[in-house]
Structure 1
Amino acid sequence: MSHYLDPTDKQYTRVYKSETPEILKAFNEFNAAVFAPEGPELSLKVRELIAVAVGITTQCVYCIEAHSKNAAAAGATEKELAETAWVAAAIRAGGGFAHGRLAFKFTEGAAAEHTH
């Protein structure tokens, strides 16, 4: 496959529709509320940029594509998209740093145990 998104992937939404229609309906309503043109406080552009950062962080190419396009349509510039990507990169790196400390926590005293 030469691309990550197979246009036929959406056909599998039929499983959600047939097997869990009430959950799909609730999810679609929730998603529509989150990305309503007028939010309670944050502009649609800001909410879409947050979604881009989350998509980058979770490495969901579908989210990155959809929300980058939505952010641009809401007025986001390439510079804002670039800054959004850097925010996501910083958070991912920070997570690695913070969780890396657990290696020390989980092995604290282990070196002393191996010398005896």
Structure 2
Amino acid sequence: MSGYYEPTDRSYTKVYKEHTPDILKAFADFDATVFAAEGREIPLKFRELIALAVSITTQCSYCIDAHSKNAVKAGATEAELAESAWVATAIRAGGGYAHGRLAFKLSGLHEH
């Protein structure tokens, strides 16, 4: 994977545990609630596929690792992973398209 990703990077969680254990616990509780297997309106498989698409969009190697595996555990197929990746690709491309329009607006060449 790209970036600085190494499986041992998780060991640095100890810094959060040492300095901000209350925030770490709140985040872990929040994350566990969002990805609870039951009790949510959107089925877990779909939430994990959404998380995977967002992870690809933000290019977070750690999140891609976790959510691709979690999506499969929740019943996602390889075809669903592929479609999630294409959704992320379309959103990133759309962002470039929309921000291009913003560049035209902000350039001062098109005063209204």
TM-score, normalization by structure 1: 0.88
Contact 2:3 / 2:61 at 8 angstroms: preserved in 1? no
Q: Secondary structure at the match of 2:62?
A: helix
Alpha-carbon RMSD across the aligned residues, in angstroms, is 1.7
For 1:76, give the aligned amino acid: A
Contact 2:52 / 2:84 at 8 angstroms: preserved in 1? yes
Aligned residues: 109
Contact 2:49 / 2:81 at 8 angstroms: preserved in 1? yes
Gaps of 5+ in 1: 111-116
For 2:82, give the aligned amino acid: A
Tell me what 2:46 maps to: 46
Work out the percentage of aligned pairs sharing the same amino acid. Answer: 70
- Separation in structure 2 between the aligned mates of residue 53 and residue 4 of structure 1, nearest angstrom: 20
Tell me what 2:55 maps to: 55
Gaps of 5+ in 2: none
Q: Give the Å deviation of 1:107.
A: 1.4
- Separation in structure 2 between the aligned mates of residue 97 and residue 39 of structure 1, nearest angstrom: 38
Distance 1:3 1:92, change over 3 A: closer
Tell me what 1:100 maps to: 100
TM-score, normalization by structure 2: 0.91
- Separation in structure 2 between the aligned mates of residue 81 and residue 94 of structure 1, nearest angstrom: 20
String of CA shifts for 1:36-71, please: whole Å, max 9, x gaps.
001420000000000000000000011111100000
Tell me what 1:114 maps to: none
